[in-house]
Chains A and B, each alone.
Chain A
Amino acid sequence: MQENHWEISSKTSYWGWNLKELWSYRHLVASLIRREFLLNYQQTVLGPVWILIQPIMTLITYVVVFGKVVGIPTGSIPPLLFYFSGIVLWNLFNDSFSGTAFTFKENAHIFSKVYFPRLVMPISVVSTHFLRFLMQLFLLVLVMVYYWLFRDMPLPVTPLLLTLPAIIVVIGAIGLALGLFCSVVTAKYRDLVNFISLGVRLFMFITPVIYPMGAVPEKVRWLVEINPLTPLFELFRYALLGEGTVTVPGLLYSVSFAAISLLAATLVFNKQGDKLIDIV
């Protein structure tokens, strides 16, 4: 018999989790991801194609509304590619955030019946969205190849492409970190749910999703600049499409924001997690 001793007491600690335990639940994470895909596309006509249809529909709307009607300049990047890159990246953030922001509320039933590291749930959600993002990214690359073949757009094969995985991870981390914070808050105060969905929608407008950094008027620029997502979006476009406003301090700001907030959020999540079961 294993001689692993344990103790349960009233104290909850920030460090009350260990990677070893989390690792032993990796198969649960894998099967939750699998479940998510199965659930979403079982008994549907188009199946997993929906992962691509949603951004395409958004893309069409943006191209028509912001490109044709409002006429936001997109520099030398074709509007289609500009909006698409923004949408794909925004979806990653938005899904990672919204998917985890209600962890306790949505899993109250199962959390109150069985113990497993609570972090398993947000991790599996973020992983699911990450896989979805990869599919959408693949579509984006296909569109780029089309532009390269038929519109003579140069393909930016530069060392900067190597930053893409890092950008994706940092954006996912920020989404997860904010989501974990919110999951603790929404478990206690239900009425904040409405604020959060409104907030994330407003947040999109201070992120360079539908406009380039260069097009922001000087007066409100600070608003976009304090957003840690901004440098990442700009770098993403710069690496992929060759145009964007990138500064090293900006990137450092984003990365440290992501690291600190993810660490803090995980600690708060663990500290509060055990107590919240009594409340949700």
Chain B
Amino acid sequence: MANTIIEVENLSKLYKLGTIGTGSLRQDLQRWWNSSVLKKHDPFFDLQDDAPANDRQFLWALRDVNFGVDQGDALGIIGSNGSGKSTLLKIISRIVRPTQGYVRGRGKISSLLEVGTGFHQELTGRENIYISGYILGMSKPEIKSKFDEIVAFSGIEKFIDTPVKRYSSGMYVRLAFAVAAHLEPDILIVDEVLAVGDAEFQKKCLGKMREVSHGHGRTILFVSHSMQAVNNLCNKALWLDKGRLQEIGDVTAVVNKYISKVQKNMLKQEWDTPATAPGNDLIRFSKLELIPHLDHPGAPLDIRTPITVKFQFWNLAEDQELSVGLHLFSYGGECIFDVPSPSIQCQKGLVEGECLIPGNLLNDGSYYISLIIVKDTSLDLFYFEECLSFELEDFRGDIKWFGKWMGSVRPKLPFRIEQTLPELV
């Protein structure tokens, strides 16, 4: 296919754990002596041919990964820690060799696996721009023609002839990224470099990368833990799980599937008989459920999602006046709110109710719910702690800022802003 710029075929990478290379020179010689001179059976080579995936000595960092990237695509690579994302980038960057399989492609690749590769503390900013540029594969005229642009992008004009060891860490990162941002490869490989730098600079970097991919038809492979950034920058996503390709396709679909997989939600608890249910002589819980109101089933819960909390319990005593309190806690244990239900007169038997937590109220994060049953609006009957939990993913729409949003709640409040004077008089 003419449009495919990278083709990955049956790519696998096996790492030996523990002492790499089987250990010392003595062991290697011994092995060589046994296998080559004495022609004895060598267990080490047996394993290399088809090492079992669960063998403790070996780890498949990647296993049979197949995919293609079209020219002009921005592919986000997502997955939990240790899922093989970085290994994949390193293989495509030609830093490490795969154990099996092929990567075929065309065009020039530049990889940005670290901010400031090739930087040296003792050298000035100017020297470092050149060395780092050369290491990343730029040519001399290329750097010369972009030098001023790089310096302007980094915003450290005043310090360009100062050794970088005297820079603040922010300045250092800005300069380093500025060099990388001006690379003009056909394929740009970026690994989680946005984790550094302040929010304003992150915005600048992402803007630059977007410009590179959308404006110039370059291909970008981008690893990030920020689903926001992936969503915003990429048009496709690839999900790796324990070295295997889980899903590849349209970015929103893949990211949503990934998030719903990793979200640790306790959405439902149920008990069949009062004997095993949590509670006491007066009341016992029978059913607890969180029902998120999602547009599509399977989509992750995000800050816009309204959630209904349903509960059901057995009232074991005659004629009690009961009410239920819903306590919502952040993962850190801070109480966000405590909402009581109205008090009603209950007879022996099942009691049920529900409470709606509206969308656009909470900030992103993990939450848990505790329920308390109160008699006569004053006496605590039973406090069921941490009985339900859920996670809310971030959603920002078109906001081009990717830092952590502050606050426990993030309500949509009526907000007005307008220009009153069209022009300064």
Contacts and interface: CB of A to CB of B under 8 A. Distances in A.
A216 interface: no
Contacts of A277: 95-96
Interface in B105-122: 105-109, 111, 113-114, 117-118, 120, 122
Interface of B: 15, 20-21, 24-25, 28, 90-109, 111, 113-114, 117-118, 120, 122-123, 127, 130-131, 134-137, 139-140, 163, 186
Contacts of A9: 97-98, 101-103
A8 B95 contact: no
Contacts of A2: 106-108, 186
A24 B139 contact: yes
B134 A275 contact: no
A7 B103 contact: yes
Interface in A1-48: 1-10, 12, 24-25, 27-28, 31-32, 34-35, 38-39, 42
Contacts of A279: 20-21
Contact of A114 (B28, B96, B100, B118): B118
A35 B131 contact: yes
A197 interface: no
A27 B104 contact: no
Given A39-B123, A113-B117, A188-B21, A5 B108 contact: no
Contacts of A39: 120, 122-123
A248 to B, nearest CB: 40
B91 A8 contact: yes
A138 interface: no
A110 B28 CA distance: 27
A25 B107 contact: no
B24 A191 contact: yes
B118 A3 contact: no
| Leading 3 A-B pairs by shortest Cβ distance | A28-B134, A115-B94, A8-B103
A80 to B, nearest CB: 36
27 contacts: A1-B107, A1-B186, A3-B106, A5-B104, A5-B106, A6-B106, A8-B103, A8-B104, A9-B98, A10-B98, A31-B131, A35-B123, A39-B122, A110-B118, A112-B95, A113-B113, A113-B117, A114-B113, A114-B117, A114-B118, A114-B136, A116-B135, A188-B25, A189-B25, A189-B28, A277-B96, A279-B21
Q: Which of A7, A12, A32 has the most CB of B within 10 A?
A: A7
B107 A115 contact: no
B97 A8 contact: yes
A28 B118 CA distance: 11
B102 A27 contact: no
A110 B25 contact: no
Interface residues of A, number: 38
Contact of A10 (B101, B104, B113): B101
A38 B126 CA distance: 13
Contacts of A192: 25
A10 B97 contact: yes
Contacts of B101: 9-10
A170 to B, nearest CB: 30
Contacts, number: 111
A278 B106 contact: no
A274 interface: yes
A111 interface: yes
B96 A31 contact: no
B108 A4 contact: yes
A115 B95 contact: yes
B179 to A, nearest CB: 12
A91 to B, nearest CB: 24
A63 to B, nearest CB: 35
Contacts of B137: 116
Interface string A185-200: 0001101100000000
A6 B102 contact: no
Contacts of B92: 8
A189 B122 CA distance: 31
Contacts of B127: 31, 34-35, 38
Interface in A223-280: 274-275, 277-279
Contacts of A3: 106-107
Q: Which of A1, A8, A35 has the most CB of B within 10 A?
A: A8
A277 B136 CA distance: 18
Contact of A278 (B15, B113, B117): B15
Contacts of A116: 135, 137
A31 B138 CA distance: 13
Contacts of A35: 120, 123, 127, 131
B135 A110 contact: yes
Contacts of A115: 93-95, 109, 111
B106 A27 contact: no
Contacts of A278: 15, 20, 96-97
B141 to A, nearest CB: 10
Contacts of A1: 107, 186
B7 to A, nearest CB: 9
B107 A4 contact: yes
A114 B180 CA distance: 12
Contacts of A191: 24-25
Q: Which of A31, A112, A114, A192 has the most CB of B within 10 A?
A: A114
Nearest to B105: A6
Q: Which of A188, A191, A278 has the most CB of B within 10 A?
A: A278
Contacts of B104: 5-8
